[in-house]
Chains A and B, each alone.
Chain A
Amino acid sequence: MSLLSLSRLSVTRRRRPVLRDVSLDVAAGEFVGLIGPNGAGKSTLMEAALGLIPCEGRSSLADLSAAERARHAAYLPQSREIAWPVSVEVLIALGRIPWPGASNAQDRAAVDAAISRMGLEPFRHRTANRLSGGEQARGLIARVLAQETPLLIADEPIAGLDPAHQLSCLSLLRDLATEGRGVLVSVHDLGMAARFCSRLVLLSGGAVLADGTPDEVLSDDNLARGFGIRVQRIETPEGTAIVPAAPL
C-alpha cells in the first residue's frame, strides 16, 4: 500500500529549479533513505511532499487537508528547535495536536508508548531543552511517534548524534518500517544508509539519479556522478562499510 506518492514534483526558488520532476512512492513497510550531496534538494523534496512549500506536480499528501495530513504523516524537521523550557512529557504531547478528538486516555497512552519506546522514562519530567543533544533528539523522535501516523518523514535524524545514538535511532526507524509504517529519511552517512534502509533514492541537482536497493544505488558510477567522490568498500561482519576515499 502506497503511503506517499509523488509525481513530477518540481520546485523553483528565485527562478532557479531546486527540484525537477521528482516521482517517488513510499509504501507501507518501506524504509527509504534519501541521499545526495548538500543542496541536492533532499529537504526541499520533503517539504514539498508535505505541502509546506509551493510546488508543481502532485503529492498525494497535498490532496489532504492540513489536519488530515498531520494525522497521516509526521515530520521531523532538520532544525531541532525547542523554543520553551517545557518538560519532556509536554514536548512529546505536542505530537497529539493533530488529534483534537482523541480522549485524554488515548493521548496519554500514545505519549506513554512513545516515552517507553524511546527509553525516556527517567527524563519524563526533565526540562527538554536542557538535556544533551542526543536526549533531545530522542525526545523529538518520541514526539513524532506520539503523532501515531502511518508515514514518518525525518530530515537528517542522525545528524549531530554520537555513534550509539545513530545506531539506536536508525534501528528504531527500521523497526517501525518492519511493523508496517512507511519511513522516509535523509541521511549523509552512506554506510549507515546502506546498512539500515530497505531502499535508497539518490538525488543530485534536484533530480533522481538512482532509485533502488542500496547495492544498486551505491555503485561506484552513481557515487562518482552524484557526489563526485571515489569510495573504498571494506567488508565487515555487519555489512559493507563505505568510506569516502578521494574527490574525483
Chain B
Amino acid sequence: MRLIAALSLLVALLFLVSLSLGPAEVGSLRGLQALLFGGDGPLPIVMREIRLPRAILGLLIGGGLGLAGAALQGYLRNPLAEPQLIGVSGMGALGAVIAIQTGLSTAFALGLPLAALAGAALGVAALMALAGPRGGSVTLILAGVAIASLAGAGIALVLNLSPNPYAAAEIMFWLMGSLADRSMSHVWLALPLMVLGSALVLATGRALDALTLGEQAAAALGVSPARLRWQLVAGVALIVGPATAVAGAIGFVGLVVPHILRPWVGARPSRLLPASALGGAAMLLAADIAVRLIVPERDLKLGVLTAIVGAPLFLHLIWKTRAGGRL
C-alpha cells in the first residue's frame, strides 16, 4: 500500500511538472491557474490544447504499457514478455505507416490514429484466429511473434516503395514514438478504449496469481484458461492499439517497469498490476519531461529515449538477476 501511495505521489508530481514545461515561458503556478480558471490571452489555450493533452497521454500511455507488460509477464510466466510481443502494436504501426504513405493522415485530423487502430484490430483478429480458443500460452507467443514480424515486413515494404525520401523520413520519425503536438481529440480517441482495456486487464489479477503454479494447477483452482486468455488479449490489445495509434511505438516501458517493481510487491502478479501501471505512467511522464529538457530545440523522440534509458537498465537487471542466480 505504501508503494502505491508513493508511486501515486510521484505520478502526480511528474504530471504537474509536465504541465509546466514548454517553449512558452510561464510559471507553473500561473499555468495551472490558467488551466483551471481560464483567463485572458493565449495562456489558457496553450495549457488546455497543448500541454494538458500531452501530460494526459503520457499518464495514460505509460500507465497502460506498464499494466499491459505486467499482465503479459504474469500470463506467460516470463519476465521477458512485453506488450509488443503479441503483434498488436506492430500491426497498429503498419496501419499508421500506410496512412502516412497514402496521404490519409493529412486528409483529416484523426486519419492516422484511426488507420492505426484498424491495423491493431486486424492484428488482434489474426492473433485470436491463430491462437484459437483452445491454444496455450506458447501458441499465443508464436502467433504474436509471427504477426509482429509480418507487420515489420509490411512497414519495411512501405518504406522500400516510398516514392521520396521525405515520406520515408516522416514514417521513420513517426515510428520512433512521440507525445509532441497531440491534441485533446487524440485523448478522446484513446481514453475510452484504454480505460476499458485496463479494466479488463486489472480484473485478471487473481487468475494471474493462480497461474504462478502453472496452467493445470490454475485450472484446478477454478481459473478458466479460455476466458482468461480472451480477457487478457482483448484488454492488452485495447491498451496497446490506441497507445500505438496516438503515440507511435514506445518500447521498454512495458518490459522494464514490471521488472523493477516485482520485488517490491513480493512478486505477486495481482499486486504488480496496479503498481506497474503507476510505475509506467511515472516512467513515461519522466521521459517526456526529459526529451523537452535535454535538447528542447531538436525534438528528441520519446521512443528513442525510453529505449536508450530502458535497454541499459534492463541489462543491469539481467546482470543483477544472474548474479543472484535467479535466471
Residues of A at under 8 Å CB distance from B?
47, 50, 52, 66-67, 69-70, 73-77, 79, 81-87, 90-91, 94-95, 97-98, 100, 130, 140, 143, 147
Contacts and interface: CB of A to CB of B under 8 A. Distances in A.
Nearest to A47: B216
Contacts of B266: 86-87, 90
Interface in B186-228: 206, 209-214, 216-217, 219-224
Nearest to A77: B216
Contacts of A94: 209-210, 212-213, 221
A84 B267 CA distance: 6
Contacts of A87: 266
Nearest to B263: A85
B220 A84 contact: no
Contacts of A140: 213
Contacts of A69: 220, 222
Chain A interface secondary structure, helix, strand, loop or mixed?
mixed
Interface in B19-54: none
B211 A67 contact: no
B214 A98 contact: no
Contacts of B119: none
B326 interface: yes
B222 A70 contact: yes
A97 B205 CA distance: 11
A32 to B, nearest CB: 18
Interface residues of B, number: 23
A70 B221 contact: yes
A98 B267 contact: no
B216 A52 contact: yes
B77 interface: yes
A94 B210 CA distance: 6
Contacts of B262: 84
Interface string B130-152: 00000000000000000000000
B267 A97 contact: no
Among B216, B219, B269: residue with most chain A CB under 10 A: B216
Contact of A75 (B220, B224, B269): B220
Contacts of B210: 94, 97
